[in-house]
Structure 1
Amino acid sequence: MQSYLCDMQEWPESADTYHVRDPRVMKAVAHPLRVRLLGALRVDGPATATELAAKLGESSGSTSYHLRQLARYGFVEEDPEQRDARERRWRAVHQYTAWSELELGGTSEGREVAGFMRDRQTEVLLANRRSFERDRDSWGPEWIEAAGMSDHLARLTPASITALYARVQELIREMEAVDAADPAAERVMLHLAAFPIRGYDL
């Protein structure tokens, strides 16, 4: 699985992705405040503990402690381009976190932290939807028409799902390159999930 803010099959190795294989490392980020701190740094860029505290409604002492814990496990680091020697700015080391459900699922601890991260992804999806609905009139007709969700029912093998994730990732990067210089481009949160079902039970 892969997550911008905080899973599916193993994604190709790349410099912008942190592949977590140790449940203890995943547990370090699977904390309600730490995963929000990491997400904020990935989305909005480097920030101090004080700035993050104000943004997330936490104390600077708490954000400072949890940033140090994230740094200990390689998720964040001090920003080498410090604007002020008197303040410590932090940045995310990677854009994505990836893990293997099979590897982490070998222990109860691994299953627990992977489940937390899946729940967090769902929370982010719902928050994105609520935010768009709240501000939809400010986006204009093109964005109102383009934004949304869809679901599909398909008969696929695990290998095909893995290939689908890879194809979608490639396509996203292609589209990013096409739109890189377009002033109409905005940051867009894309979500992709696939779970096998044996019947309709919703």
Structure 2
Amino acid sequence: MDDRSITPSPQQLRALTHPVRLRMLGLLRAEGPSTATALAARLGLNTGATSYHLRQLATHGFIHDDPSLGTGRERWWRAVHASTRTGWEPPHPAPADKEALDAYLQSVVVVYTQMLQQMVEERATLSQEWRTASTVSDWRCRLDPEQARRLIEQVGQVIEAFVAAEERPESDPEAAPYAILFHGFPRPGGAREGSA
């Protein structure tokens, strides 16, 4: 991958408002280059739909084809970035930009929900060590917006530092790909605009 992360424009975000595209991009980032045929089989899609979504991701700069791979009969696709960052929302976003961010986040939640469901379904096949090294937890507290932003930043820094210092090589038989999903938000109905 060329860069660690991308902060997409609102136009680029619109390309990620489809959960299938997010899953494809996630697979290319996590597992490396692939073809439309292989991704179609993995995602239970037809190759025509898969090719269309791959072209959309390429048009918006998230992936590119890698002619150094394969025999030339089939295009191989590679992720350009390791992650997508949306940054903080501007104070007065244009309505169309706000809609793009909200639609993107809706797709992210769909993909995360699918991943969590799959984790629960596969949990019985994990060793005791991995079952106790996994969690689906929540904490509840009362914070103001500044405290919430600091919490998000600090947790992000801890995760980033841990990943940079502790990542195990693919050849390590005890290591496995590990997902960290961190969510922080006002409880639904708890902090609506104008309620403070």
Return the match for 1:117 from 76, 97, 104: 104
Answering whether residue 6 of structure 2 is matched by residue 18 of structure 1, we say yes
Q: Distance in 2 between matches of 1:39 and 1:50?
A: 16
Gaps of 5+ in 2: 192-196
Please state how far the C-alpha of 1:185 moved relative to its aligned partner.
1.9
Answering whether residue 151 of structure 2 is matched by residue 164 of structure 1, we say yes
Give the residue type in structure 2 aligned to 1:118.
L
Aligned to 2:34: 47
Gaps of 5+ in 1: 1-13
42 and 104 in structure 1: CA distance in 2 versus 1, 3 angstrom threshold = farther
Q: Distance in 1 between matches of 2:41 and 2:98?
A: 33
Q: Distance in 1 between matches of 2:148 and 2:5?
A: 20
Aligned to 2:177: 187
Aligned to 1:89: 76
Q: Distance in 1 between matches of 2:108 and 2:84?
A: 12
104 and 118 in structure 1: CA distance in 2 versus 1, 3 angstrom threshold = farther
Aligned to 1:30: 17
Q: Distance in 2 between matches of 1:183 and 1:87?
A: 32
Please state how far the C-alpha of 1:162 moved relative to its aligned partner.
3.1
73 and 179 in structure 1: CA distance in 2 versus 1, 3 angstrom threshold = closer
- Deviation readout 1:97-133 (Å, 9 max, x if unpaired): 1114523972332232322222233223322232222
Q: 5 Å matches for 1:173-184?
A: 173-176=160-163, 177-181=165-169, 182-184=172-174
Percent identity, aligned pairs only, is: 34
TM-score by length of structure 1 reads 0.78
Q: Distance in 1 between matches of 2:5 and 2:91?
A: 17
Please state how far the C-alpha of 1:47 moved relative to its aligned partner.
0.7
Considering only aligned residues, what root-mean-square deviation do their CA atoms show, in Å?
Answer: 2.7
Q: Distance in 1 between matches of 2:157 and 2:175?
A: 18
TM-score by length of structure 2 reads 0.80
- How many residue pairs are counted as aligned between the two chains? 187
Please state how far the C-alpha of 1:62 moved relative to its aligned partner.
1.9
